[in-house]
Amino acid sequence: MIKKAYLLSPGPTPVPPSVLAAAAEPIIHHRTEEFSGIFMEVTEGLKTIFGTREDVYILTASGTGAMEAAVANLCSPGDRVLTINAGKFGERWSRICRAYGVAARDIVLDWGKVLPKESLEAELEAVPDVKAVFATLSETSAGQVFDIKGFGEVVARTQAVLVVDGISGLGAAPCPMDEWNIDVLIAGSQKSLMIPPGLSFIAASPKAWAFIESSKCPKFYFDLKKARQSLASRTSPWSPAISLIVQQKKALEIILAPGLDKLIAHHHVLAEATRAGVRALGLELLAERPGDILTAVRTPSGIDGKTLVKTMQTKYLAYIAGAQDPHKGEFFRIAHLGYMGGFDVITALTALEMTLADLGFAIVPGTSIQAAEPILKENWS
């Protein structure tokens, strides 16, 4: 057959054709009124995505760059912070904090679990002088979505700031920054925001800005005070990733024409259909509170999880994601994130069924489709 590949991973995600084409436009100079107009339009669009009145800064870096910027700009060496670690990305908060000499106390949970807000409240009472809580909206390594609204209620009553990695979740799960008392919120370009990897976005509340003013961690490229100064002149401190920003403008037009609520609702339908499909095959989900970003599915017993992912990728060119270390092979992840439609769910489920059959797992072809298709049909919009 013709080799047609299907990107079904939780980052990078597929990019709409008009957004791909925007990258091929001639480069314009970034110190011009024309570029400033584009830059400010993207900044404004991101404020809507973030649900904030604060400014959103555009960083030339993948999502991890904005995570690093959050730590370096808020903290000073020796500060006491909490990280919520129930997967690879929660763990990344801890590792970045340690790299900057910040005293992270990690609340470690099994992958896929969520932390009740009451437990966070108890931690905050038990540990004195916590300066920041580092949390994740959607833990992409395991598929769960945390109760960020609850965390916001709890943290707002303390002197600490709540920092949320919304890199995969923003745009696919509700997370209004101002309404939920989030102090620092982060997004990345290659997840629900429908452009290639390379940009990350960060906004900070007045409470966070007070910490930024007094932070003593070293920083230069990601200095948010410089970003704030430049934004006042409608630009960025360093050469911006011009083409990516032009692409982001196009993608935001696509996202914001129907509205953010529609995008979130769309992700919910795709997720419901995917979950119904895998359950119909008798498979189990990993996440305690599955998000609508991706579905992490436990590898059925008797099947080698790494072979499953490899077969889907190399034989069927269906690029789902495997589990990351130290859980390689134990589960796999099907994304329904960003520029994906209902038939992408069908593609993923069909490829999964065919792969399972290849590996000797007894299934009746079409079982997952019978469960998923009605959900897509009834909610098609």
Ligand X SMILES: *Cc1c(COP(=O)(O)O)cnc(C)c1O
Please, which residue, 11 or 14, has the CB nearer to ligand X? 11
Span between the terminal Cα atoms of the chain, in Å: 32
Give the three-state DSSP class for 204: strand
CB distance 132 to 75 below 8 Å = yes
Nearer to ligand X, 195 or 348 (CB): 195
CB of 11 to ligand X, least distance (A): 4
CB of 86 to ligand X, least distance (A): 11
Nearer to ligand X among residue 62 and residue 248 (C-beta): 62
Q: Is 52 in the site for ligand X (CB under 6 A)?
A: no
Name residues whose C-beta falls within 8 Å of residue 237's C-beta, 6 or more positions apart in sequence.
Answer: 223, 226, 227, 229, 230
Per-residue x/- marks for ligand X, 62-91, CB under 6 A?
Answer: xxx------------------------x--
How far apart (Å, rounded) are the C-alpha atoms in residues 103 and 78?
5
Choices 31-39, 44-52, 109-117, 132-140; region in contact with ligand X by CB under 6 A:
132-140
95 binds ligand X (CB under 6 A): no
Nearest to 161 by CA among 170, 152, 149: 152
As beta bridge partners, residue 59 has 200
Q: Segment near ligand X (CB under 6 A), from 19-27, 145-153, 162-170, 306-314?
A: 162-170
- Residue 106: strand pairing partners: 83
322 binds ligand X (CB under 6 A): no
Nearer to ligand X, 64 or 347 (CB): 64
> Whole-number minimum distance, CB 327 to ligand X, in Å?
16
Q: Enumerate residues 168-187 that contact ligand X by CB under 6 A.
A: 168
Give the count of residues interacting with ligand X (CB under 6 A). 14
Shortest Cβ 334–ligand X spacing (Å): 15
Cis amide linkage into residue 12, ω under 30° from 0? yes
Given candidates 165, 183, 272, 292, which one binds ligand X under the rule CB under 6 A? 165
Binding mask 189-228 for ligand X (x = CB under 6 A): --x-----x-------------------------------
Nearer to ligand X, 334 or 376 (CB): 334
Q: How far apart are CA 52 and CA 180, in angstroms?
A: 10
305 HSE (CA, 13 A, CB side) = 19
DSSP 2-64: ----EE-SSSS----HHHHHHTTSPPPPSSSHHHHHHHHHHHHHHHHHHT-SS-EEEEES-HH
- Using the rule CB under 6 A, give the single segment among 115-123, 136-144, 242-250, 257-265 that binds ligand X: 136-144
Residue 232 neighbours by CB distance under 10 Å: 8
Asked if 188 interacts with ligand X (CB under 6 A), we say yes
The verdict on 167 binding ligand X (CB under 6 A) reads yes
d(CA 223, CA 372): 47
Q: How far apart are CA 191 and CA 194, in angstroms?
A: 6
Q: How far is the CB of 68 from ligand X (least distance, A)?
A: 9
Enumerate binding residues for ligand X (CB under 6 A). Answer: 11, 62-64, 89, 136, 138, 140, 165, 167-168, 188, 191, 197
